[in-house]
Structure 1
Amino acid sequence: MSELTLHDLSKKMAKLDFAMLTTTTSSGNLTSRPMSNNGDVEYDGDSYFFAYEQSKKIAEIRADSAVGLTYTGAVGMLGGSPLFVGVEGSATLITDKATFKDHWTKDLDRYFPEGIDTPGVVMIRVTAKTIRYWDGTDEGQISL
């Protein structure tokens, strides 16, 4: 068993698109929902997602920026060992259209029909503080 660097873990995560984003509700409970990073998978400790500003998750992030992300997927040839990644971090809401362009893909047009000009679109940046991982061979923690 060896400790992975963030770069090594990023390579293993390269094909993982979906994460469960966990926020805290107004009643103090945890809630999770699937989010796609739309192929923006060059992981450096920051994850990016788009949402509508009026959604519950955005209100929850405004009230408490502490969030969690969980990723899972197959690693290696023919599936291989599963990869589990848990991220503890903080969310920042971004409304700058120039920044949107850096993370926008054509697939997002399905959900946001006017592209980056869709009214009410906001980007969520989750900045990792602690990352825990397990893939059957390696397990550990990376603190950022």
Structure 2
Amino acid sequence: METTAQKNKELEKVQELVDDIGIAMMTTVDDQGQLVSRPMAALQMDEEGSIWFFTKRSAPKVAQIENNERRVNLSFAKVGDAEYVSVSGTADELDDRAKIDELWNPVAKAWFPEGKDDPELTLLKVHIDMAEYWNASDSKMVRFFQQATAAITGNPPKMGENQKVYN
């Protein structure tokens, strides 16, 4: 994922974690009011605190975003390292050829066989309203020991950093 310096310095840790994890589960609401999630590769978190994705113009998520006040949630998880990020925000579909050129990578061709000029290719830009992250700085063994100690003592374990950030 491409990274840029954040104007909101509180988002720097979020950006670091999003960059490390890379894949989000993007949740929208369908026509029946059901929550629907799908994996999406984050391409960039820009300086304004927006995360960019490629998508197909005809994908159901595009209509779901438009029909539900553009509200989405992104969940990032790297379980082995105990890194988690939850982002709530608003999404916009954009047909910005210059931005597509900037973000294009060879892996995207698997989903867009005609390349950058694929008529189905469009962008989703998710502006972060609020992000919350959890990040354990200790190793798995230390976390396991802390959990075992907590189970014996009844005192909750200290499992690392947890922070809410508003943009």
Q: Which AA in structure 1 matches 2:72?
A: V
Q: What residue in structure 1 maps to residue 15 of structure 2?
A: 10
Alignment pair present for 1:87 and 2:92: no
Select the residue among 43, 46, 50 that pairs with 1:46. Answer: 50
1:9 to 1:96, Cα distance in 2 relative to 1, 3 A:
closer
Where 2:108 maps in the other structure, the secondary structure is helix
CA contact (8 A) 2:27 2:35 kept: yes
TM-superposed deviation, 1:13: 3.1
Give 1:135's aligned amino acid.
Answer: N
The aligned amino acid for 1:61 is I
- The higher relative CO (CA closer than 8 Å, separation ≥ 6) is in 1
Question: Residues 12 and 84 of structure 1: is their aligned pair in 2 closer, same or farther, counting only changes over 3 Å?
Answer: same
- Structural RMSD (CA): 1.9
Structure 1: stretches of 5+ with no match in the other structure: none
The total of aligned residue pairs comes to: 135
Change (3 A) 1:9 1:52: closer
Q: Secondary structure at the match of 2:20?
A: coil
Alignment match, 2:106:
106
Kindly provide the CA deviation profile for residues 20-69 of structure 1, in whole angstroms up to 9, marking residues without a partner as x.
0000111111110111125x367862111111111111110121210000
Determine if the alignment matches structure 1 residue 35 to structure 2 residue 66: no
Larger radius of gyration: 2
1:142 and 2:142 aligned: no
Alignment deviations for residues 65-95 of structure 1 (CA, whole Å, 9 cap, x no partner): 1000000115xxxx5x411100000000011
Please tell me whether the aligned partners of residues 46 and 125 of structure 1 are also in contact (alpha carbons under 8 angstroms). yes
Residue in 1 aligned with 2:78?
73
How far 1:14 moved relative to its partner? 2.4
* TM-score, reference length from structure 1: 0.84
Q: Give the superposition deviation at 1:11.
A: 2.3
By how many angstroms is 1:12 displaced?
3.3
Q: State the alpha-carbon separation in 2 of the partners of residues 43 and 132 from structure 1.
A: 18
